[in-house]
Structure 1
Amino acid sequence: MRNRSTDFRDDILAARGWFAALIVVYHLWGVPIGGPVGIDLFFVISGYLITRQLVDERTRTGRVSMVAFIAKRVRRIAPVAIVVIVATVLVSSLIWYLPRAIVVAGDGMSALGLVANWHFIAEQHSYLEPSGTPSPLEHTWSLSVEEQFYLVWPLLVVLATLRVRSGARRRIVARVVAVAAVALVLTAVYSAWRTASAPDAAYFDTVARSWEFIPGIIGGALAASIDRIDVRVRTAVGSAGFLVLVGSAFWLDPSIGFPWPGAVPSVLGAALFVTFGIHGGVPRRLLTIPPTRYLGRISYPLYLWHFPVAILLPVAYGRSTTVLVVAAALSVLLADLTSRWIETPVLRSGWLRGWTAGGHRPLRAVLALRRSSRRRTIRAAAITAVFLVLIGASAAVPSPGSARLTAAVAAVVGDVRPSPTREWADDVEVRRAVDAALAAPRWPSALEPSLDRAFTTTIADEFDEVAGCRYPDGTVLAEALPCDAGPATAAHTALLIGDSTATAWAPGVVDALVPLGWRVRTLAFSACSPFAVPAARDAPSSTCSTSRQAGLALAAGAEADLVVLSAGGETWSERVRQLPSERRAAFARQWSAAVSDGVDQYRRLADRVVVLGPSPHGAHTSDCAVRVGGPERCETELPRDEVRASCVGGDVECVDVTPWFCDADGVCPAFIGDTLVRADRSHLTARTARSMSALLREALVSDEH
């Protein structure tokens, strides 16, 4: 019933195959809804097997060699991971243009450093609800979590059993189980708190995930005792656990927080299955069919290969059924070849084998933890603590895909912001350019910025959080200085206030008004509409309320002739999607009333108030623009309800900018003329904003001014 060559039980091997296949299907087709619970099974299996080995080693030899343990992990994990990560980075650079390729390279660096999970937390990734095309290396978070956990757990085993003699298995097991039980309670409490307070971060958080290893750890520690239970009882319990695990994959409620309590059923089911096993009868025959044993043997390279293939192949060739089937087959083929030619030869080779045998004496003197060696234990603990501090610090340091690195690379490759080659004179002219762009089979050769230079640095200077005037939500006016353009003694003053889209419009508004003798002052707060619009589920945040008060305070002291208010339409769409259809009409009325009330507040403080309608939002240009496809991949639509939401209610004066960006059917190209429209999902490039200055001038300047 055991696979002696791998130290895996056949039922565990087959289960790995079943759930590796389930994860592949989930990432390609989005079903079953609980596909990610396969990761929970892998964590439980890992905890069970490794703890069983640690307890056996401690009982047999009286020590646990950290060098041997780490060397085994490196031999098992590193070769395949390095090949997949390097290949993914290289292929990504062939498919995507430089801005996205650099981000993937940064993801690869964090994956190689086994801190990918903290990197994705710092980059504010959402695994279950991604806002764009996920990183092809996002799945490496689980590898990072596992290796970080196993830097700590063997050390805890050693510390818990310091004064226990070799051979005293019962005392060793009792202490390991006691430490594991305490760790289970502490990490489960932390996971519940983290999931409630920051669900996206909790998904990747090592501590929030640690409790998932511990039921397997307890089972591994108690394995010798459990093996003495009647095989029929063990099979019945193990089969029940497997059914719970399978059920959680198909009936997981996505509204339940993950990992806590969402992962509880799958972890408990996996723990029962792994600990007690399925040792005979029909359940075993169904579980261990040859295809699942085969997939189990290649499950590690299959897990690593499938996600890059599932992301990159549809990006390059479209998301058709044929492409998805090819992606599944290619994932298995690559996993088989990698297992056959890299993983297995390395495991059979002599690489690091001397370390696993305890032959590397200088390091063993530090890390081979003997029961009587407190000094060595302290040294090993110190080394582990330093590494953990470095892991934690990585979340605070700008990560490779961050804005700072992007800006630095943009400067190196010559990210310049030339003046637009033309300024659209009127609606007719820009409509012709829009229609021509939608009919174009390829990107313009003179596109500005070029797709290899389309970094977020191509958004207006005002967008910068340090040098500009875009502030975090909740910033008070005393700490939020506006960006000023034009002389302080100008005859007329205009305020541009809103969320981050206001800063993206700033170059166009400045070019429209300053030459006419105006002063333009811009102030924006990230993700905070200037209107007290309702949230779909919760009340508007108090921090955004503070930001709105800051905008009103600026207007109160400015004696403005004109206030231009801007908010991204994406906010409307995201909130409406959360609502059932029967509630959307009432929600729209509340939204319109909030816009009208907001405009009325500013009218008391300025001569004229204009709402600038939302510009198109869509896929991030760095995601949708690929070297193997045309501009149609980046086309988007501007739903009319977004425009209505911003422009109806009372006698709101609104500038509908849809005709400047979209055709009569609401389809919007990614470029107009020779200018790239968006620098990301929702913000205009500075060049696009400037090209609209004549249209803005006509819309914003009244006859009195």
Structure 2
Amino acid sequence: MSRRATTFRDDILASRGWFAALIVVYHLWAVPNGGPVGIDLFFVISGYLITRQLVDERARTGRISLVAFVARRIRRIAPVAVLVIVVTVLAAALLWYLPRAIVVAGDGLSAMALVANWHFIAEQHSYLEPSGTPSPLEHTWSLSVEEQFYLVWPVLVVLATLAVRTGDRRKVVARVVVLAVIALALTAAYSAWRTATAPDAAYFDTIARSWEFIPGIIAGALSVTIDRIDVRVRTLIGSLGFVLLAVSAFVLDPTTGFPWPGAVPSVLGATLFVAFGVHGTWALRVLTIRPAMYLGKISYPLYLWHFPIAIMLPLAFGRGVPVLVAAVLLSVLLADLTSRWLETPVLRSRWLRSWMTGEHRPLRVAGAVVRRPSRHVVRAALAGVTLVVVVGAVGAVADRGQVRATAAVASAVGQVRAPAVHPWSDAEELERAVDAAVTADRWPGDLQPGLDRAFTTTISAHFDEVSGCRFWAGTDPAELRPCDDGPETADRTLLLIGDSTAAAWAPGVADAFVPEGWRVRTLSFSACSPFSVPKPVTRDEEPSGDGGGASNACDAARAAQLALAAEDAPDLVVLSTGGETWTELAAMVAHDDRERFRQDWSDAVRERVTEYEQFAERVVVLGPAPNGPHTADCAVRTAGPERCETTLPQAEVDASCAVGAVECVDVTRWFCDADRTCPAFIGDTLVRADRSHLTERMARSLSGVLREALSR
């Protein structure tokens, strides 16, 4: 049977199975390196099949029913997606504590609204290099991209073929191909720019991804012409395309130059394979083996189910081989059941087709058929809109709770009531508490803040962007204001300077010195270390930026901090920077360059200390508190606190205060045991509010040891 006689192709179905399996393996075992290129194949197949359908409909009937097209997309996409999203949100509420469960609910809302990709861009997610546990719904970005694309493409096809007579397939094809070529040029150019300037965002960006559909679109429009080519030639070209696609999965590095030009080989291979196919040969028999055909039939629900399972099952029960194998089996089982009992019945339901499109006389507008929706559709749409508005409002309020505290935090720093804290009396008592926390097999019953309240707002009010003293580089100098703790008439002044970690340390420093008659002033800039050093590079990179994210903006921030010191002439300056700046950058350098970087770093620290010594009687560098996993991510109801522990490499410990001729306080033992294992709680106090900032309670509990370490 020729391809013109049927839209079903075994080779395409089997390829979906092969690459769905590849994606599952990649998300569980991180192999092969280019596993995500399976998405490129799905985009090409989608463009091919849908455009072929649109061209056939326009050439045959003289019109394209946009409502029928949307109805088909809803039947194909919505039931399975809604089921998986709802189950995932419920499972997240059972697995995680409230802070992360709320985040997943927000992710689910964006996925329901088909804007997940823009949501993840706004949240600054990195799909391929995540900084923490990925969202179990992060994979829905591709679904959002596809549906956003098909909100536009059919309309463009309708407009491009307005004046074409019914039955004139050649003109329909010609106009669609010209339209596609123009769209390809524009979207590829945008993708190249977006990838170069914002690679993490480009990965999710609909426009940056749109060019991947278009080669399949061109192939679909030209399918009748391609069918006239000798089947042996088509099979050869199609087989080469599949090989190119498969090789891309093993040799491409999707973390660099993706989607443009990184996805070009995989999209090219997928296009050749889909356009020319593999026919009636041993290659087709190998390609369409029974497991591949089976996985191809359930590939859509398999893709949706596997990712939340791959994220949540290992978190709940550990990443052992049995758990990972169970994740594969569970994904296939749920996909099979979903396909059998939901996806297939919905696609075959005649009643649903009539229910969604109605049986009214069609209205033809500009070559497109627009049917009046039935009352059922209107009611369902109103119910859906109401649900989205209500859930969206609740989600927005809950999500805002993660970013900013209640009205108390939005007030002035001095008006915020501090939580009741009993500081550690000395370093020895603190170290004993650290050792006990490392060996604990359960979270303390009186943990403060509790895991269901461990939002980022547990950082001090000094950290607040509105009322506090944490600013972004580039802030208008007129808007800069330090936080003031203690009376202006105090005899002595301490100036706390640094990146955002300084704002997190501020409550502890204030509690340590204000009762002793000091005034404590804090000024911090996110992602701007007080020390300026060229960012270390590997042999394959060009030097760029600054170890603290500086550049001109961070240089201006440092100048503002130094100007404050010149104005105040403080008795003591404390310089603070985060672990990412202090130690992780060193690990980025090739081994034989590490010592050179450490020397550059030491020189930068000494230079900055010398500058502050012009205005201050004494300057002390406060070593970084260790980074670790975000408690909201790692803390689950099925496991103990060991999931949230982190172990510092010895090289990082050695580097923390390895700066000669500079007074430095090494705080490693305040947070880690002698084996460099750092717990997520100490005593009854949660250590971190995110990956790198202390909770307010933790900072205040350290006031005693801070006073001891920073006093002469």
Gap change, CA 1:5 and 1:612, over 3 Å in 2: farther
- Deviation of 1:405 after TM superposition, in Å, equals 4.1
Letter in 1 for 2:642: E
Q: C-alpha deviations, 1:503-523, integer Å up to 9, x for none? A: 110000010111111111111
1:20 and 2:16 correspond? no
Q: C-alpha deviations, 1:518-554, integer Å up to 9, x for none? A: 1111111111100002312324222222211121111
3-state DSSP of counterpart to 1:220: helix
Gapped regions of structure 2 (runs ≥ 5): 373-392, 409-415, 538-543
Gap change, CA 1:571 and 1:402, over 3 Å in 2: farther
Gap change, CA 1:410 and 1:558, over 3 Å in 2: closer
Deviates further, 530-539 or 236-245: 530-539
In structure 1, what is the equivalent of residue 390 of structure 2? Answer: none
- Deviation of 1:113 after TM superposition, in Å, equals 0.4
- Deviation of 1:100 after TM superposition, in Å, equals 0.4
In structure 2, what is the equivalent of residue 392 of structure 1? Answer: none
In structure 2, what is the equivalent of residue 35 of structure 1? Answer: 35
In structure 1, what is the equivalent of residue 586 of structure 2? Answer: 576
- Deviation of 1:409 after TM superposition, in Å, equals 9.0
Deviates further, 208-217 or 633-642: 633-642
- Deviation of 1:410 after TM superposition, in Å, equals 7.5
Gap change, CA 1:148 and 1:399, over 3 Å in 2: farther
In structure 2, what is the equivalent of residue 224 of structure 1? Answer: 224
In 2, the alpha carbon distance for the partners of 1:551 and 1:535 equals 21
Q: Is the 8 A contact 1:470 1:500 kept in 2?
A: yes
In 2, the alpha carbon distance for the partners of 1:2 and 1:668 equals 65
Q: How does 1:134-149 map to 2 (within 5 A)?
A: 134-149=134-149
3-state DSSP of counterpart to 1:496: strand
In 1, the alpha carbon distance for the partners of 2:135 and 2:189 equals 30
- Deviation of 1:476 after TM superposition, in Å, equals 5.1
Gap change, CA 1:146 and 1:323, over 3 Å in 2: same
3-state DSSP of counterpart to 2:294: helix
In structure 2, what is the equivalent of residue 150 of structure 1? Answer: 150
3-state DSSP of counterpart to 1:609: strand
Aligned partner (choices 579, 585, 590) of residue 595 of structure 2: 585
In 1, the alpha carbon distance for the partners of 2:250 and 2:215 equals 22
In structure 1, what is the equivalent of residue 270 of structure 2? Answer: 270
3-state DSSP of counterpart to 1:8: coil
In structure 1, what is the equivalent of residue 212 of structure 2? Answer: 212
In structure 1, what is the equivalent of residue 400 of structure 2? Answer: 404
In structure 2, what is the equivalent of residue 626 of structure 1? Answer: 636
3-state DSSP of counterpart to 1:616: coil
- Deviation of 1:683 after TM superposition, in Å, equals 0.7
In structure 1, what is the equivalent of residue 92 of structure 2? Answer: 92
Q: Is the 8 A contact 1:107 1:401 kept in 2?
A: no
In structure 1, what is the equivalent of residue 321 of structure 2? Answer: 321
Q: How does 1:476-487 map to 2 (within 5 A)?
A: 477-487=477-487
1:687 and 2:683 correspond? no
Gap change, CA 1:411 and 1:236, over 3 Å in 2: farther
1:594 and 2:604 correspond? yes
In structure 2, what is the equivalent of residue 428 of structure 1? Answer: 428
Q: Is the 8 A contact 1:431 1:659 kept in 2?
A: yes
In structure 2, what is the equivalent of residue 311 of structure 1? Answer: 311
Q: Is the 8 A contact 1:41 1:267 kept in 2?
A: yes
- Deviation of 1:635 after TM superposition, in Å, equals 1.1
3-state DSSP of counterpart to 1:125: coil
- Deviation of 1:686 after TM superposition, in Å, equals 0.2
Q: Is the 8 A contact 2:573 2:612 kept in 1?
A: yes
Q: Is the 8 A contact 1:68 1:358 kept in 2?
A: no
Q: Is the 8 A contact 2:136 2:312 kept in 1?
A: yes
Letter in 1 for 2:13: L
Q: Is the 8 A contact 1:236 1:278 kept in 2?
A: yes
Gap change, CA 1:405 and 1:160, over 3 Å in 2: farther
Q: C-alpha deviations, 1:180-206, integer Å up to 9, x for none? A: 000000000000000000000000000
Letter in 2 for 1:404: R
Q: Is the 8 A contact 1:137 1:308 kept in 2?
A: yes
3-state DSSP of counterpart to 2:617: strand
Gapped regions of structure 1 (runs ≥ 5): 377-396
- Deviation of 1:578 after TM superposition, in Å, equals 2.9
- Deviation of 1:612 after TM superposition, in Å, equals 0.7
3-state DSSP of counterpart to 1:257: coil
Letter in 2 for 1:690: R
In 1, the alpha carbon distance for the partners of 2:99 and 2:162 equals 52
1:55 and 2:55 correspond? yes
Query: CA RMSD for the aligned pairs?
Result: 2.3
Deviates further, 487-496 or 133-142: 487-496
In 2, the alpha carbon distance for the partners of 1:649 and 1:662 equals 21
1:536 and 2:532 correspond? no
- Deviation of 1:478 after TM superposition, in Å, equals 2.9
- Deviation of 1:474 after TM superposition, in Å, equals 3.0
- Deviation of 1:62 after TM superposition, in Å, equals 1.0
Question: Normalising by the residue count of structure 1, what TM-score does the alignment of the two structures yield?
Answer: 0.92
Gap change, CA 1:590 and 1:437, over 3 Å in 2: same
1:188 and 2:163 correspond? no
In 2, the alpha carbon distance for the partners of 1:403 and 1:486 equals 33
3-state DSSP of counterpart to 2:350: coil
Deviates further, 42-51 or 459-468: 459-468
Q: Is the 8 A contact 2:105 2:395 kept in 1?
A: no
In 2, the alpha carbon distance for the partners of 1:175 and 1:4 equals 21
Letter in 1 for 2:708: E
Q: How does 1:234-273 map to 2 (within 5 A)?
A: 234-254=234-254, 256-273=256-273
Gap change, CA 1:293 and 1:513, over 3 Å in 2: same
1:461 and 2:441 correspond? no
Q: Is the 8 A contact 2:625 2:667 kept in 1?
A: yes
Q: How does 1:498-509 map to 2 (within 5 A)?
A: 498-509=498-509
1:667 and 2:677 correspond? yes
1:198 and 2:191 correspond? no
Deviates further, 438-447 or 141-150: 438-447
Deviates further, 543-552 or 229-238: 543-552
- Deviation of 1:646 after TM superposition, in Å, equals 4.3
Letter in 1 for 2:101: A
In structure 1, what is the equivalent of residue 437 of structure 2? Answer: 437
Letter in 2 for 1:406: Q
In 2, the alpha carbon distance for the partners of 1:650 and 1:112 equals 56
1:233 and 2:243 correspond? no
Q: How does 1:70-81 map to 2 (within 5 A)?
A: 70-81=70-81
Deviates further, 420-429 or 195-204: 420-429
In 2, the alpha carbon distance for the partners of 1:479 and 1:84 equals 46
In structure 2, what is the equivalent of residue 384 of structure 1? Answer: none
- Amino-acid identity (%): 69
Gap change, CA 1:153 and 1:254, over 3 Å in 2: closer
3-state DSSP of counterpart to 1:448: coil
Gap change, CA 1:539 and 1:457, over 3 Å in 2: closer
Query: Number of matched residues?
Result: 674
3-state DSSP of counterpart to 2:100: helix
Q: Is the 8 A contact 1:71 1:355 kept in 2?
A: no
Q: C-alpha deviations, 1:148-203, integer Å up to 9, x for none? A: 00000000000101111111110110000000000000000000000000000000
In 2, the alpha carbon distance for the partners of 1:351 and 1:670 equals 55
- Deviation of 1:574 after TM superposition, in Å, equals 3.6
- Deviation of 1:3 after TM superposition, in Å, equals 9.6
Letter in 1 for 2:487: P
1:521 and 2:517 correspond? no
Aligned partner (choices 682, 687, 708) of residue 698 of structure 1: 708
Letter in 2 for 1:236: L
Aligned partner (choices 532, 551, 557) of residue 547 of structure 1: 557
Q: Is the 8 A contact 2:421 2:697 kept in 1?
A: no
Letter in 1 for 2:695: T
- Deviation of 1:573 after TM superposition, in Å, equals 4.1
Q: C-alpha deviations, 1:209-251, integer Å up to 9, x for none? A: 0000000000000011111111111111111111110010011
Q: Is the 8 A contact 2:469 2:503 kept in 1?
A: yes
In 2, the alpha carbon distance for the partners of 1:262 and 1:417 equals 52
In 1, the alpha carbon distance for the partners of 2:254 and 2:160 equals 38
In 2, the alpha carbon distance for the partners of 1:350 and 1:577 equals 61
Q: C-alpha deviations, 1:363-416, integer Å up to 9, x for none? A: x54xx5443999x9xxxxxxxxxxxxxxxxxxxx9985996242579899xxx9
Gap change, CA 1:218 and 1:463, over 3 Å in 2: same
Question: Normalising by the residue count of structure 2, what TM-score does the alignment of the two structures yield?
Answer: 0.91
Deviates further, 135-144 or 56-65: 56-65
